[in-house]
């Protein structure tokens, strides 16, 4: 396994639209394992392949307290969404140390392939539902800060660019 480099906002590659995975083969399973390792190492609850500069529809999530319940979603599709919305603080490994409220469907029904290539369909709610929607946005090139006002987004962008310059000097 290998830890992958996670792109930081406002890296333009984060706006790439991912392609469907043609086949869940050894290459994809390796990607999944590397993404899980990278997500756990960064203490994140979710990671989309877009964030590691691989533009295929692969997501890993673990919203469990014990960090022992990895979920793998390949070619995910939202089959149903609740009318009810929830409004919770979100963060992102590509936008470190920024937390902002975003409106999401409170419950979603998802269909995806697992790491074994088998189709699965499940309902998600709470943090898991938020995470599924957040990560699926990454696959279409959308970062959660794009839900915020232009003013907030510009402020976050400036903060990220300043941090990147500081990291370069360090
Ligand atoms: Ni994210």
User: Is the overall model pTM greater than 0.75, yes or no?
Assistant: yes
For ligand 1, the distance from its centroid to the CA atom of residue 166, given in whole angstroms, is: 22
For ligand 1, the distance from its centroid to the CA atom of residue 143, given in whole angstroms, is: 6
Q: Tens digits of per-residue pLDDT, 53-84?
A: 999 999 999 999 999 999 999 999 999 999 99
For ligand 1, the distance from its centroid to the CA atom of residue 14, given in whole angstroms, is: 10
Query: Catalytic amino acids?
Result: 135
Considering only the C-alpha atoms of the chain, give the largest distance between any 2 of them, rounded to a whole number of Å. Answer: 48
Q: Tens digits of per-residue pLDDT, 122-153?
A: 999 999 999 999 999 999 999 999 999 999 99
* Segment 108-130 mean pLDDT: 97
């Amino acid at each position: 396994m290998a830890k992958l480099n996670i792109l930081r906002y406002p890296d333009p590659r984060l706006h790439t639209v991912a392609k469907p995975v043609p086949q869940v083969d050894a290459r994809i399973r390796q990607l999944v394992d590397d993404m899980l390792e990278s997500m756990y190492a960064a203490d994140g609850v979710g990671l989309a392949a877009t964030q590691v500069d691989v533009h295929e529809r692969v997501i890993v999530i673990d919203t469990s307290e014990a960090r022992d319940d990895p979920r793998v979603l390949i070619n995910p599709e939202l089959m149903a969404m609740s009318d009810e919305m929830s409004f919770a603080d979100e963060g992102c490994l590509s936008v470190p140390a920024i937390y902002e409220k975003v409106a999401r469907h409170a419950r979603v029904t998802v269909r995806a392939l697992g790491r074994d290539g088998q189709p699965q369909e499940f309902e998600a709610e709470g943090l898991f539902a938020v995470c599924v929607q957040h990560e699926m946005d990454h696959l279409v090139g959308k970062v959660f800060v794009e839900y915020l006002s232009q003013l907030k987004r510009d402020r976050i962008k400036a903060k990220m660019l300043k941090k990147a310059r500081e990291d370069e000097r360090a």
